[in-house]
Structure 1
């Protein structure tokens, strides 16, 4: 059975089992795939896939912290934005928090990234004028406040623009045609029997932001910190994830600028490159591949064997190559 680029499997089960065993995986892990009617989420590998995919663009500067609702996200993507800062794209399906935010504006890179999810809903607070036609023509259900006014609320505890929050269940009422969770290339199961380097901490750097992932034996997860401080949510304390994917990508200048004249970076998520997978207190060298926008993203060992994730929430740090 050979991977066809995020859309399915072909061939015989015997082939993939042989490849997995050669990589030191158990027979169960070698053929591990979720989201094909087994009741498990293709995003987390755990029970309960959810009905619709909702992506929310989250503010991530100091004035926006601590954020709300991120502990319920299936996948958290970080990408570089203007001035070397970072922003988060949170993907929800398995669980919907009562409230999530602060919500901020979309970026052109989000549209390429979200193509692998089919026709997801995207909640955001605004966009540059040149980006709006792209949002309108993209295969998404666009949910800015104007399209779902009942789904947004302002908090009196913070100053604008860092006080806009989304009610996900209300937002999805305006997204009847949003796609259901489906295979995006993730595989889940036990770690490879061979390989990996024991590590307790890994830093991820953007030009003006730094994330640190520290392994917690007691929680069996990676604790997230940002700029030297614990990355907390308002209701769940320090955020922790099961697997961290550090995906090295091309980050180039786009044609767009912010209102201060800073060029908006464009993060390319179609292609291939190196990655580092953190799971179970170890780091694994990996390679990622996404041949086309409609394909999912696969992660393999340098020898080409599938590299499964630990079931649970995933953090994908899209970081510049080099």
Structure 2
């Protein structure tokens, strides 16, 4: 009898445990709903791609910086490659004319030109990019020692002649163009794009609605006209649309008019016309054009190795629109946006 009672108790225990296990459709055991559940896999949110410090646009990696001096008179137009530039600087040169310095990094065109000579103001601008490659076609003889000491890799037509060619259908000296791959091959240690301290994003409050904004030099006039359809300020120079050799009118989402003190340098051209020296360190006034509005701003640059900071009148960072930026270096005057 004692043995039967023990067996009965054991069977009863089995009956109690049985409901805790159920059969799966494949014949295996699966835990009941009250048991432990398998851990859920949470999909990781992909990080947004990094932004290029010159344009604020997504970029896979930061590439070396290539600066190219570009002709900016009617004799050298239309220019090739400017549409791909991250930055375009407009600088006053002899006779009140202007010349461009295009800065490439995020997108580098196959060819660029017409390539022209460098100026003393370039040597003061370039250190903000570290030690970039500079493509140009000669400098005044007194400047040669300064170029050798400057923060740049020289890929001029004399330092890297194999990178240059004469474009058929153009007249010298406005027919000198360059192969950008060969230019960068001549400067394998050129500094990669680095932060300049700029911010990109939504426009600040305020601003004055503008359909166009003009900047005058002694012998050149620029007008930047807002295109709502293209979301860019289109460039007109001396009353003519500034067209690109690739097609379409030149322009950018952000135009910065930086008013900088301009003085007479020790250099001059063969006619005796002096070379302007643009003071791009220190502080000054600016007007930033974006989204069909003009914003009063301030600029400051503590040293030549530092980037130029742009702020609103209230002292907040002046955010740029994403995309190409033109920086128009103009002599100081009352700012009337």
Q: TM-score range by the shorter chain?
A: 0.7 to 0.9
Indicate the residue corresponding to 2:298 in structure 1.
287
Q: Would you say the 8 A contact 1:50–1:95 is kept in 2?
A: no
Instruction: Spell out the pairing of 1:250-265 with structure 2 (5 A cutoff).
Output: 250-265=261-276
| Offset of residue 303 of structure 1 | 1.4
Tell me the alpha carbon deviations over residues 101-157 of structure 1, each in whole angstroms, 9 at most, x when there is no partner: 100000010011111000011000000000011000001001111221221110121
Q: Is the 8 A contact 1:71 1:236 kept in 2?
A: no
Question: Do the aligned residues in 2 keep the contact of 1:79 with 1:319 (CA within 8 Å)?
Answer: yes
The counterpart of 2:281, out of the listed 239, 249, 270, is: 270
SS at match of 2:127: helix
* Corresponding position: 1:145 with 2:127: no
Detail structure 1 runs of 4+ shifted over 2 Å in the superposition.
none
How many angstroms apart in 2 are the aligned matches of 1:89 and 1:151? 18
- 1:250/1:267 contact within 8 Å kept: yes
Partner of 1:234: 245
Partner of 1:96: 108
Q: Deviations over 1:152-184 (max 9, x none)?
A: 110121111000001111100110110000011
Partner Cα distance (1:38, 1:56) in 2: 28
Pairing partner for 2:171 from 159, 167, 188: 159
CA distance in 1, matches of 2:171, 2:278: 29
Aligned to 1:316: 327
Partners of 1:212 and 1:188 in 2: CA distance: 24
Matched residue count: 285
The residue aligned with 2:182 is 170
**Which of 75, 79, 93 is matched with 1:63 structurally?**
75
Q: TM-score, normalised by structure 2?
A: 0.83
In the alignment, is the contact (CA less than 8 A) between 2:138 and 2:158 conserved in 1?
no
* Mapping of residues 76-155 of structure 1, within 5 Å: 76-155=88-167
Match of 2:308 in 1: 297
1:38 Cα offset (Å): 5.3
How well do the aligned residues superpose, as a CA RMSD in angstroms? 1.1
Residue in 1 that maps onto 2:195:
183
Give the conservation status (yes or no) of the 8 Å contact 2:286–2:298: yes
**Secondary structure of the structure 2 residue equivalent to 1:288:** strand
**Aligned pair 1:203/2:203, yes or no?**
no
Distance of 2:275 and 2:87 partners within structure 1:
23
Residue 177 of structure 2 aligns to a residue whose secondary structure is: strand
1: distance between equivalents of 2:255 and 2:144? 32
Higher relative contact order (CA 8 A, sep 6+): 1
Deviation at residue 50 of structure 1 after TM alignment: 3.9
How many Å separate the matches in 1 of 2:270 and 2:49? Answer: 47
Cα deviation, 1:202-240, whole Å, max 9, x if unaligned, reads 001111001110000110111111111110111132012
Distance 1:230 1:293 in 2: 34
Distance 1:108 1:133 in 2: 12
| Greater Rg by CA | 2
Once the two structures are TM-superposed, the CA of residue 185 in structure 1 deviates from its matched residue by: 2.2
Contact 2:137–2:158 under 8 Å retained in 1: no
Note the C-alpha offset of 1:242.
Answer: 0.8
DSSP-derived class of the 2:181 partner: helix
